[in-house]
Amino acid sequence: MNVLVAMSGGVDSSVAAALLVEAGHAVTGVTMKLWGGESDTGCCSVSDVDDARRVADRLGIDHHTFAFADDFTARVVEPYAADHAAGRTPNPCIECNRHLKFDRLLARADTLGFDAVATGHHARVSQRGDGTRRVGRGVDAAKDQSYVLHMLDQAQLARVVFPVGGHTKAEVRALAAGRGLRTATKADSQDVCFITSGTGGRGRFLDGRVPLTPGRVVDGRGRQVGRVDAVELVTLGQRRGLGVGGGAAPRYVVDVDPVAATVTVGGVDDLQVDSQRVAAVAWADTPVSGPALVQTSAHGSAAPAVLRVDGDARPGTDVTVQWERPQRRVAPGQSIVFYDGAEVLGGGLAF
C-alpha cells in the first residue's frame, strides 16, 4: 500500500511512519505547514518540521512539506476568532482535523496517487459485519483521541490508518527509542498551535482580530457583582477571573451575552441540565436515534443518554441528547460525541 504519513514532528507520528515502513508499505512523510505567525509553536513550529524531516531520513523515506496556511487561516483561525466574538468556545484542533488533516490532506493524497493517509492519532478504525467502518477508541484510555476524530465519514474511514492506536503511549515511546528516533522523549504538544502564553495568550491573539468588550458580571437577579475585561474571553462554567468577591458558595458562569456585554453567574446547580442540544452533527454512517454513550470533552467520561434526531434525520441536522442523569451544560461551540460502546457514532457542536 502506498501511504502518505502526516508527520507532525512528534513521537506518535514518527512511530506511525516506522511501523508502516516495517510492515512493508511504500511510505512518504509529509508535514503540513499551517501557521507562520508570531505564535509559531506546537505542531506548527519550524523545529517540528525539522524533527519530522530527520525522522524520515532515519527511516529512509522521502519527506515533503505542504504549505496549507491559507486554508488553515480560513478554516481554523478566522472561525476561532469569530466564535469568540459570538460568545462561543471553539475547539480549533477539531476543526483542523475536519478541514486540514482529513479533507485538504486527503484531497492532496488523492491527487498524488496515494492509497491511504496515516496519522499518529491514538484511535483505531473498526469494520462492522455490514462492511461499515467506525472510529474506535485507542488502547491507551488516557491518550484516546477518538473524540477529536468524530467527524470522519465512511469515505474518509476507508482511506485513513492509525498505526499507533493499538499501543499505549509508553509502548510508543519505547518503540521510538528502540529505533533510535529523535522524538522518543519529546513532550506532547498541549497548546493551540497558533497561540503562545508567553506572548499574552488568547487575549492578545484575539485583540485586533475581534472587538474585546469590557462587561458586567451579574447574578441571577440581574444585580452587578463584578466585571470582566473582555466578555469574548469568558466561557460557560468558568469560575476564575470574574471580579467576583468571595462568598459562601462558588459562582460559575451560566450565561454569556456578548451583545449586551453581560456575564451571568450562578451556583453549580445552575449548570446542571436534563438535556443538551447538538447542532451540525456529522455521522460515521447513517443518523442514529436511541441509547448511546455521550462524551462532552476530549478526556472526559462518557455518560449514558438517549439520542433524538430532530427533523428528517439528514446528516447535519440537530440532535437532542436526553441525559439518563443530569449533566453539566456544555459551552456553546464545544464538541459533543456519541458512542456505541467504544465506537464513535458521530458528533456535533453544543449550542
Q: Running DSSP on this structure, what letter comes out for residue 246? A: P
Contacts of residue 254, defined as CB under 8 A and 6 or more positions apart, other chains included, come to: 220, 236, 264, 265, 266, 270, 271, 329
**Percent helix, percent strand, percent coil in the chain, to nearest 5:** 30, 30, 40
- Catalytic status, residue 43: no
Is the CB of residue 253 less than 8 Å from the CB of residue 271? no
Q: Which residue in 43, 44, 93, 96 is the catalytic one?
A: 96
Is the CB of residue 348 less than 8 Å from the CB of residue 278? yes
Contacts of residue 78, defined as CB under 8 A and 6 or more positions apart, other chains included, come to: none
If phi > 0 it is left, if psi is from -120 to 50 it is alpha, else beta; for residue 311 that is left
For residue 109, how far is the Cα from the chain centroid?
A: 22
Rounded distance between C-alpha atoms, residue 19 and residue 40, angstroms? 29
- Give 11's Cβ-side CA count (13 Å radius): 22
- Catalytic status, residue 96: yes
Is the CB of residue 334 less than 8 Å from the CB of residue 91? yes
Q: Which residue numbers are catalytic?
A: 96, 193
